[in-house]
Each structure stands twice: as structure tokens, then as C-alpha cells.
Structure 1
Amino acid sequence: MTDEISYSVDAGIATIVMNRPDRRNAITYTLVTGLQDALTAAAGDSGVRTIVLTGTGGNFCVGRDQSGDPTTRVVRGLSEQEDRTRLLDVSRVIPTLVQVPKPTVAVIRGGCAGAGLSLALACDLRYAGADAVFNTAFVGAGMSGDMGMAWLLTRAVGSSKARELMLLSGRIKADQAAAFGMIHEVVAGEALETRATEIARRLADSAPLALRGAKLNLESALSRPLSEYLIGEADRLITCAYSEDVEEARSAFLGKRVPHFAGR
């Protein structure tokens, strides 16, 4: 892993922090490589139940670093073929975030723009401080978009609003972003961390097999015809129905106690 990413696990919650405060956590090739490594570690750790993604220094991530060290840029301008290969390699982190079999929570302060917004939108749940500012940013910078922006934004806010936000890029305040469906909740001041921890804890205490199946259902619902979707949905429900977790849920309900899920 790289020092541009901080990774820690506490009580079932893996916290991944983008750590380039001097550059407002702008994306470099090495930052995304570290993020990919952290997500792989969290996905493979049976002790991790949920994943929190955030940034340090008062910002989430302001997109690709276009003016930093040329050797670490995603698009370096050396050749079209090399830059296309590097961009596709970096973009792999988006399907990793979308498909990781554990719920993901983005905690957003300050700037969240361009490819940084793509990272946030790839998370299952998104909570922002009142100081958060969003921007698709690409067209304003003479770019068409990368790292899944249009794909993710369309699913978050709908086709019509996504077209407006992509084509007329500009600053969006947190309350506007919530109204559009880009984020789930705006939380003022230091209460953001408390709220994010509460959500992450709730997810971490839930049944892992059920959460995994629910995530697969949600993704399949967007990409599969109904007849095909129903087959996968049934398979996942039966897997849950024959698990120890469903027995634990039933026992806890009857015993009027909090369930303790093992993920099997």
C-alpha cells in the first residue's frame, strides 16, 4: 500500500482515508493503486463487515491531479496509447467499489469533484458535511469525463438531471446535492463523523450474507431482465434462508435480544 492511502480496521469497520491533504486528495496513479489494494484487503478480511471511504485535510477528493508530479499523473501526455492504458487501469477501482461484497459508506467534507465524485458515487451510501461542494467538473476542464462518472451519476440522479450536471458543470452545494439524490444526508459540523460511525456500525452489525445478497440484487436490478433477475434473487434468498444467520435472527427475535451474526 502507499502512504497516499491510510487503512485501518476497528470492530468490523475498515476505514480508508485518501491522504494527500496538500493537494486536496487529488487522484494520482499511486493513490488509486493504494485504494485498490485497500479495497482488496477489506474484501478478503472476514473480520471486516463494512467499509468507510473518506479524505483527510477537510476535503474528500477534487479529482485527478493535473498539475502535480508528472510521473504520478494518470494522464501524462507521453502517448495516447499509454495514457489510455493507464486510465483504464485506474478506472478498475470503480467496479471494485461498486461490486465489493460489503457495504461501502462515503464520508464527504469539502471538495468532491471530477473523478473524486465518481469515487463517492461508487459507494453504496454517501453522507456529507454542510461544507461539502460537488462538481462534475469535466466539461469545464475541457474533458468528457472518466472513471465511470456518467454511468454512476445517471444511476444516482436519473438521466435528465445527470445530463444537466454533466453538460453544465458547476459548483453544487451539499443541500442541493441531497435534493438531487447525489448524497443521502447532510450533517452539520462534527456530527458528520458521529453519524457516519453510527451508519457504519449499523451495517457492520447486520447479517453479512443478507447485505451481500441485497447489494447483488440492487446491481442486478439495473442490468438484468426481470426473468433473469428473479433467478439470481431466488438463489441469494435461498442461500440466506439456509444460513446460520437467519436462525440467529429468528432466535434473537423470539428472545427479544440483539442478534449476533457470524456471516455463515
Structure 2
Amino acid sequence: MTVLLYNVDAGVATITMNRPDRRNAITYTLLTELQKALTSAAGDESVRVIVLTGAGDNFCVGRDQSGDPTMRVVRGLSVQEDRTRLLDVSRVIPTLVQIPKPTVAMIRGGCAGAGLSLALACDLRYAGTGAVFNTAFVGAGMSGDTGMAWLLTRAVGPAKARELMLLPERIKADQAAAFGMIHEAVADGALETRMAKIARQLADSAPLAVRGAKLNLESALSRPLSEFLIDEADRLITCAYSEDVEEARSAFLGKRAPHFAGR
């Protein structure tokens, strides 16, 4: 079975973790293939938005501990090898955070451990009301990986992140929305329709503006204000001199939908 499915349709790249029999539990191969898929989407000019989801009834329940030991990220053969393997596959997290296209997680069922890290690394996160979340690491005797504490702190704030990491428990979708772990809990039967609408809105937006906005949001967390304002101005001027801003103006005056070319 192919562990990852990749499909592009009308500007939307859908990446599906495809191990439904294992609730899409993470293996070294799955994260390696995800890195390749994200690199492909980043370099494909036809792709405007990336949707990450899981096959079957779950998003991803974290690391696979009961499968073939050779497939695990941490195999227990040597400290140096496991450290190298973990750092290698962890590259997928900064790739998701920094990729210059909007990323959206569509979450059903279980979303735990490193699976939750993948979701948190996406720009937007929407879950069915039947979804269940858990940081999971401490409960499994582990301190955490795949950027969990970094991502969680930015999503829910430092105080709540400490509680969720140190006292792991099952969190329902409505609670996750209240905490800021996800943006919205949607009725399970309406999740795909809601996601299609969001993906379409993002795909139809001006690519340069979306990219600049995403870079601004990321820089806002790390750059001093004086430096941020310089970067923000540069991105705005780039947009201001683009064909897309002229198309937006023309569409507004003509009372029609704009058609952005990304240049």
C-alpha cells in the first residue's frame, strides 16, 4: 500500500496519509514521503493551497509503536542513529510552517502525538466534531518530538501548552477549538464541504498576497517590530506592483470575480 496519496485538482493539492489500518500512525517512510510531497507542491506553480488529511476514520494517531520495528523513527539500535533519523524526518515540520503556500489540516477521528504536531504545523486546522486530540507524549513516557511544544505554545499560549503537555488527556473537538488547537469544529458530515469551500477561497486568492501574508504572520513571532516593518513594506510593494493587484482593482470596478495569475 502507498503510505501517502498526492492529488492536485484546480489548484488544491491534497496530501493524504494512507495507513488507515494503522489509524495513519507515523513511520519513517511516511514522514519521508510527506517531505517529498510538500517539496513537490511548493515547486508546482499550479498548486495554490495544500490540504493535509488522513485516510479512513482518523487523521494520525502519532508514532507507530507496534508495527515492524524497521519502520519506526526511533528503532532502538543506537543513540546516534536514532537521533539522526529523528532530526531527518523532523524537517517536515519547518517545511509545513515555512512553505510559501497556505496549508490546511482536515482532521477526522484521532489526532495525537506527532500527528497533532503535523496538524499544528498547518496554517489552518478544521476538525469534525467526532475528532479527539491528545499530546500523548508524556503518557507514553516520552518528552515530545516533531516540534510539539514549540507549535503548541504558539497555538494555545504557554500556560495552556504546559497543561496539555504535562497532563495529557483526550480532548474533544469543541474543547480543542476553545483552546485554539483548531480553528473550527464542524459536524462530521459537513467537514468535507466546509474544507472544499475554504480550499477554494484560498486557491482563488492572489498568490503573492497570500504568500506575503503568511510570511508576515511567521515573522511577527520572531522579528523585532522595527525589522518586521521593513520586511512587511517590501512584501506589500511587491504586491502593489504585481499584475494581480491590477486584476483585483479591475474586478472590483467591473463587479466580477478576479482571476489571479500569481505575478
TM-score (norm 1): 0.99
Distance 1:172 1:75 in 2: 26
Q: 2:130 aligns to what? A: 131
Distance 1:139 1:189 in 2: 29
Q: 1:110 aligns to what? A: 109
Q: 2:235 aligns to what? A: 236
User: Deviation of residue 256 (structure 1)?
Assistant: 0.6
Q: What do the CA deviations read for 1:229-255 (whole angstroms, capped 9, x no partner)?
A: 111101100000000000000000111
Q: 1:29 aligns to what? A: 28
Q: In angstroms, what is the RMSD of aligned CA positions? A: 0.7
User: Deviation of residue 131 (structure 1)?
Assistant: 0.7
User: Deviation of residue 189 (structure 1)?
Assistant: 2.4
Q: 1:101 aligns to what? A: 100
Alignment of 1:1-264 (within 5 A): 3-264=2-263
Distance 1:258 1:6 in 2: 32
Distance 1:258 1:77 in 2: 56
Q: Secondary structure at the match of 1:43?
A: helix
Letter in 1 for 2:77: L
Q: Secondary structure at the match of 2:188?
A: coil
Distance 1:186 1:165 in 2: 19
TM-score (norm 2): 0.99
Unaligned runs of 5+ in 1: none
Q: Secondary structure at the match of 1:119?
A: helix
User: Deviation of residue 170 (structure 1)?
Assistant: 0.7
Distance 2:227 2:62 in 1: 37
Distance 1:120 1:49 in 2: 19
List structure 1 segments (4+ residues) > 6 angstroms apart after TM superposition: none
Unaligned runs of 5+ in 2: none
Distance 2:204 2:22 in 1: 35
Q: Is 124-133 or 2-11 further displaced after alignment? A: 2-11
Distance 1:197 1:96 in 2: 23
Aligned-residue identity in percent: 85
Letter in 2 for 1:244: E
User: Deviation of residue 66 (structure 1)?
Assistant: 1.2
Letter in 2 for 1:154: T
Distance 2:228 2:66 in 1: 45
Q: What do the CA deviations read for 1:12-53 (whole angstroms, capped 9, x no partner)?
A: 000000000111000000000110111011110000000000
